[in-house]
C-alpha cells in the first residue's frame, strides 16, 4: 500500500496531471492548485540564497510556468488550525468538552507522531489528541470545499498539491478521513516534499533565483495573499505559543507579552508556565523527537504528566528539520538548520484573529465559529490500530 501511495503522491504524478491537462479538451482539464508550506519555502530560500518572500514569488512563477493555475500559502490555512486549537483547549480546560477528551491536550499536526500514537498506545493517547486539523488538511477543506464552490467546480475537478517538509504528510493526506466518498476525491491529492520540488527544478533546468517574481494567490477577496506570511512561535507552526497566549488571556485575564521557555532534558523538551503568587496556572511543554515523545508517553502511562498542553513533533528540532527538506552537501546539518530557522523567522508574522479574510470565511463559509460546518471541515478523528492475530489491522 505504501508503494501505491508513494507513486500516487510524487512529483512525477504531478507532472502527469499537468501533461494531461495540456492535451485535454478544455472541459476535461483539472484545475491545478498548489499550496506551499512556510517550512519548504525557508529550505528552498537557503539553497538558492534568496529571501523567503522572493522564494515564494519565484516558486509561484515556476509552478505557473509548469501549468498550475493557483499557488497559495499554507500559512493562511494555519490560521484556522491555530484558532480551532485555541478554542478547543479552553473548552477542554474548562471541562466543557466530552468527558472522554482529557488533559493534557496533545497537538496532532504531525502525522509521524499521530501514526505512532495510533499504532502503539491508541487507547491511552487518542483521547488526548487535539481534533483540530493540521494546516495541510485545513487547506484541503479550503480548496476542495470553499474554493471549489467559488470556482463553480465539483471538488474532483480540482487537483490539489501541497509542498511539505516531510514524507509523512503523504500518509496524512491519504487517510480515509480526508477522502470524499461523494465526489471520490481527496482533500489533498498529492503531497510533494521540498526535495521533490528541487528535483522538478533540476529536471526543468531552472534556477529559481533567475525567475521573475509573481505574487501569491489569495483564497478570498479580503484574504488576498500577495506576500507570504507566518506566525510567531517556532518552525513547527507555533501551536504552543498561540494556545498559551490565548488561554492565559481567556482563562486568567493575563496578557502574555513574551513566552519564556525553560529547557528540561534537552532543547527539544522545554516547558512554559503561567504562574500567579507561586501557583502554576498553566503548564505547557514541547516534546520533539521520539526520545522525548517516549518520555512523555511514560509520564502519561504512570499518570504523572503535569502538563495541560504539549506540542508534539516527531522530528528532532521540528518541521524545519523534516526528512523532506533539502540537505546541503557542504554545510553541517546544524549550521544549515540555523540558517533555515533564520530565514523562516524573517517573514512577517500575523495574529490569526486579525488576518484579513479569516473572520469573513468563518461567517460566509463556515456559518460561524463552533458550527456543525466548522466541526466537519476543520476537525478530524483518530483511530486505534488493533493487533489482529494475523498481524496489524487498522480499525477506521
Ligand atoms: Fe513532518 Fe517532522 Fe514536522 Fe512531523 S515534525 S510534521 S514528521 S516534518
Looking up residue 52, the CATH number of its domain turns out to be: 3.40.50.1780
Residue 50 located in a structural domain:
yes
Residue 188 located in a structural domain:
yes
Residues 267 and 241 in one domain: yes
Residue 346 located in a structural domain:
no
Residue 340 located in a structural domain:
no
| Mean pLDDT value across residues 307-333 | 93
Residues 303 and 249 in one domain: yes
Residues 72 and 181 in one domain: yes
Residue nearest to atom 6 of ligand 1 (CA): 110
Residue 262 located in a structural domain:
yes
Residue 257 located in a structural domain:
yes
32 bridge partner residues: 159
Write down the pLDDT at residue 222.
Answer: 64
Helix (H, G, I), strand (E, B) or coil at 263: strand
Residues 180 and 58 in one domain: yes
pTM for the model:
0.94
Residue 348 located in a structural domain:
no
Residues 68 and 139 in one domain: yes
**Residue 228 beta carbon below 6 angstroms from any ligand 1 atom:** no
- HEC letters along 275-323: EECCEEEEEEEEEECHHHHHHHHHHHHCCCCCCCEEEEECCCCCHHHCC
| Mean pLDDT value across residues 46-59 | 97
Residue 227 confidence class, pLDDT cut points 50, 70, 90? confident
Q: How far is the CA of 107 from the centre of ligand 1 (A)?
A: 12
Residues 250 and 168 in one domain: no
Q: Residue 295 is part of a domain; what is its CATH number?
A: 3.40.950.10
Ligand 1 nearest-atom number relative to CA 236: 3
User: Rounded to whole angstroms, how far apart are CA atoms 340 and 144?
Assistant: 31
Write down the pLDDT at residue 28.
Answer: 87
Residues 61 and 171 in one domain: yes
User: Rounded to whole angstroms, how far apart are CA atoms 31 and 54?
Assistant: 25
270 bridge partner residues: 263, 286
**Residue 166 beta carbon below 6 angstroms from any ligand 1 atom:** yes
Tens-digit pLDDT profile for residues 95-138:
876 666 689 999 999 999 999 999 999 999 999 999 999 999 99
Tens-digit pLDDT profile for residues 254-296:
999 999 999 998 999 999 999 999 999 999 999 999 999 999 9
**Residue 104: cis peptide before it, omega within 30 degrees of 0:** yes
Is residue 301 pLDDT above 60, yes or no?
yes
Residues 139 and 31 in one domain: yes
Buried b (16+ CB within 10 A) or exposed e, 3-14: eeeeeebbbebb
Q: How far is the CA of 210 from the centre of ligand 1 (A)?
A: 30
Residue identified by cell 504524478 is: 13
Write down the pLDDT at residue 98.
Answer: 67
Residue nearest to atom 1 of ligand 1 (CA): 166
Containing domain of residue 27, as a range? 2-77+133-228+353-378
Residues 244 and 364 in one domain: no
For this complex, say whether ipTM is above 0.90.
Answer: yes
Write down the pLDDT at residue 328.
Answer: 84
CA 65 to chain centre: 26
Residue 391 confidence class, pLDDT cut points 50, 70, 90? very low
Residues 22 and 107 in one domain: no
**Residue 165 beta carbon below 6 angstroms from any ligand 1 atom:** yes
| Mean pLDDT value across residues 214-232 | 81
Residue 153 located in a structural domain:
yes
Ligand 1 nearest-atom number relative to CA 325: 8
**Residue 139 beta carbon below 6 angstroms from any ligand 1 atom:** no
Q: How far is the CA of 5 from the centre of ligand 1 (A)?
A: 18
Is residue 394 pLDDT above 70, yes or no?
no
Residues 53 and 176 in one domain: yes
Residues 73 and 160 in one domain: yes
Count of structural domains within the chain? 2
Amino acid at each position: 500500500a505504501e508503494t501505491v501511495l508513494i507513486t500516487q503522491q510524487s512529483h512525477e504524478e504531478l507532472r502527469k496531471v499537468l501533461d494531461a491537462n495540456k492535451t485535454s479538451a478544455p472541459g476535461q482539464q483539472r484545475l491545478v492548485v498548489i499550496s506551499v508550506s512556510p517550512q519548504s519555502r525557508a529550505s528552498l530560500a537557503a539553497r538558492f540564497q534568496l529571501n523567503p518572500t522572493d522564494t515564494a514569488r519565484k516558486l509561484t512563477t515556476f509552478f505557473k510556468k509548469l501549468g498550475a493555475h493557483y499557488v497559495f500559502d499554507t500559512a493562511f490555512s494555519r490560521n484556522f488550525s491555530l484558532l480551532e486549537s485555541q478554542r478547543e483547549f479552553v473548552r477542554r480546560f474548562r471541562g466543557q468538552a466530552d468527558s472522554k477528551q482529557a488533559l493534557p491536550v496533545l497537538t496532532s499536526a504531525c502525522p509521524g507522531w499521530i501514526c505512532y500514537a495510533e499504532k502503539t498506545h491508541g487507547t491511552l493517547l487518542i483521547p488526548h489528541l487535539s481534533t483540530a486539523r493540521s494546516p495541510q488538511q485545513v487547506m484541503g477543506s479550503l480548496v476542495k470545499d470553499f474554493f471549489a464552490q467559488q470556482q463553480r467546480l465539483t471538488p474532483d475537478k480540482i487537483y490539489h498539491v501541497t509542498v511539505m517538509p516531510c514524507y509523512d504528510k503523504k500518509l496524512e493526506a491519504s487517510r480515509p478521513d480526508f477522502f470524499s466518498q461523494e465526489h471520490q476525491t481527496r482533500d489533498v491529492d498529492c503531497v510533494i516534499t521540498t526535495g521533490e520540488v528541487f528535483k522538478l527544478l533540476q529536471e526543468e533546468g531552472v534556477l529559481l533565483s533567475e525567475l521573475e517574481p509573481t505574487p501569491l494567490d489569495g483564497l478570498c477577496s479580503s484574504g488576498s495573499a500577495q506576500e507570504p506570511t507566518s506566525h510567531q512561535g517556532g518552525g513547527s507552526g507555533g501551536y504552543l505559543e498561540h494556545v498559551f497566549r490565548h488561554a492565559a488571556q481567556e482563562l486568567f485575564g493575563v496578557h502574555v507579552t513574551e513566552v519564556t521557555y525553560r529547557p528540561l532534558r534537552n532543547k527539544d523538551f522545554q516547558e512554559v508556565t503561567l504562574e500567579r503568587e507561586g501557583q502554576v496556572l498553566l503548564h505547557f511543554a514541547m516534546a520533539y523527537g521520539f526520545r522525548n515523545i517516549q518520555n512523555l508517553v511514560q509520564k502519561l502511562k504512570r499518570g504523572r504528566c503535569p502538563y495541560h498542553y504539549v506540542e508534539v513533533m516527531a522530528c528532532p528540532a521540528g518541521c524545519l528539520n523534516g526528512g523532506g527538506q533539502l540537505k546541503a552537501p557542504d554545510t553541517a546539518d546544524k549550521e544549515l538548520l540555523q540558517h533555515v530557522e533564520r530565514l523562516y523567522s524573517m517573514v512577517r508574522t500575523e495574529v490569526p484573529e486579525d488576518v484579513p479574510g479569516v473572520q469573513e470565511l468563518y461567517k460566509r463559509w463556515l456559518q460561524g465559529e463552533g458550527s456543525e460546518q466548522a466541526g466537519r471541515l476543520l476537525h478530524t478523528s483518530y483511530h486505534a490500530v488493533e493487533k489482529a492475530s494475523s498481524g496489524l489491522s487498522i480499525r477506521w
